Amino acid sequence: MKVAAIQMVSAIAREANLARAHDLLAEAAAAGAELAVLPEYFCVMGAKDTDKLALRERPGDGAVQGFLADAAREFGLWIVGGTLPIETADDGHVFNSSLAYAPDGSCVARYDKIHLFFFDNGREHYDERRVVARGSEPVSFELPSRDGHRWRIGLSVCYDLRFPELYRALSQGGAELLLVPSAFTHTTGAAHWEVLLRARAIENLAWVVAPAQGGTHENGRQTWGQSMIVDPWGTVVAQRAQDEGLVLFELDATRTAAARAQLPALSHRVLPAA
């Protein structure tokens, strides 16, 4: 199954971001991708954190959800829409949600980001808790690929990457492909991005597809980029350093099965999950 990890440098205006995402999804479809994954906050990188509140959508209804459903139908693609703001019961917060769409435009899965980013090194300060509500449940979905294999795909977002128990829960539930749409800061990305992605692939003997924001944004934020695809042995098989574009690779389910047969670490767990 060919997949496309889409790297963006999203701006403040939602419509401009959707237009650019449409062009990149068209490129992915033309290249033969079956699954295209957009980065975290693909639809908005606001001037300030609270800008997300004005763009929040009700589940199943909204401009961004409509865009994703229409694009899936137009291009015949499975699309995972990075993240978008979904309303909560609290007007002061949104869920940071990753939604998966089938080629018929139906939404087949929704994951609300569980782990909320906080970072303060004295020069940069981020605290998602100010406007983002925490999700609570791991989510995966099934994708029947054109070659007849049924992929179990686990959803996650950005800061989740630092919490291996989430990915172990996904792999124990059968996930062989883990998605990590992200907007890592330049500082944390330079230090930790690649090693964490490779670790999650190695620990779970699973493919990892990680589309990212990658560049200097209109709001002044600098994101790390380096969107990448990692195989079940932890090898980086495709990546892009910075700026907008696609990372394409043909995933082979037999490589997952071979890795898990050669090193059946998933069946060797002794300690129970916390």
Residue-by-residue pLDDT tens, the chain, 274 positions: 999 999 999 999 999 999 999 999 999 999 999 999 999 999 999 999 999 999 999 999 999 999 999 999 999 999 999 999 999 999 999 999 999 999 999 999 999 999 999 999 999 999 999 999 999 999 999 999 999 999 999 999 999 999 999 999 999 999 999 999 999 999 999 999 999 999 999 999 999 999 999 999 999 999 999 999 999 999 999 999 999 999 999 999 999 999 999 999 999 999 887 6
User: Is 223 in contact with 217 (CB distance < 8 Å)?
Assistant: yes
Whether 74 is catalytic: no
Residue written as token pair 């007007």: 91
Q: What pLDDT is stored for residue 7 in this prediction?
A: 98
Residue written as token pair 């490779």: 198
Nearest to 141 by CA among 125, 130, 152, 127: 152
> Using only C-alpha atoms, what is the Rg of the chain?
17
User: Residue 12 phi/psi, 5° resolution?
Assistant: -80, -40
Q: What pLDDT is stored for residue 43 in this prediction?
A: 97
Q: What pLDDT is stored for residue 272 in this prediction?
A: 82
> How many whole angstroms from its chain centre is CA 200?
14
Whether 158 is catalytic: yes
Q: What pLDDT is stored for residue 274 in this prediction?
A: 64
Nearest to 210 by CA among 252, 243, 240: 240
Q: Tell me if the pTM is above 0.85.
A: yes
> How many whole angstroms from its chain centre is CA 201?
15
Q: What is the DSSP string of the chain?
A: -EEEEEEB---S-HHHHHHHHHHHHHHHHHTT-SEEEPPTTTT---SSTTHHHHT-BBTTBSHHHHHHHHHHHHHT-EEE---EEEE-SSTT-EEEEEEEE-TTS-EEEEEE--S--EEESSS-EEEGGGTEE------EEEEE-TTS-EEEEEE--GGGGG-HHHHHHHHHTT-SEEE--B--BHHHIIIIIHHHHHHHHHHHT-EEEE-BB-SB-TTS-BB---EEEE-TTS-EEEEE-SSSEEEEEE--HHHHHHHHHHS-GGG---SPP-
**Catalytic site residue from 43, 87, 113, 176:** 113
> Whole-angstrom Cα distance, residue 29 to residue 32?
5
Pick the CATH number of 2-267 from 3.30.420.10, 3.60.110.10, 3.20.20.450, 3.60.40.10: 3.60.110.10
Token couple for 102: 């089938």
> Whole-angstrom Cα distance, residue 39 to residue 175?
20
In the chain, the N- to C-terminal Cα span, in Å, equals 34
**Catalytic site residue from 43, 87, 128, 158:** 158
What number of CA atoms fall less than 13 Å from residue 27's CA on the CB side? 17
**Catalytic site residue from 40, 87, 128, 176:** 40
Nearest to 194 by CA among 208, 205, 206, 204: 208
Token couple for 177: 């492909």
> Whole-angstrom Cα distance, residue 181 to residue 211?
5
Whether 40 is catalytic: yes
Domain ranges of the chain: 2-267
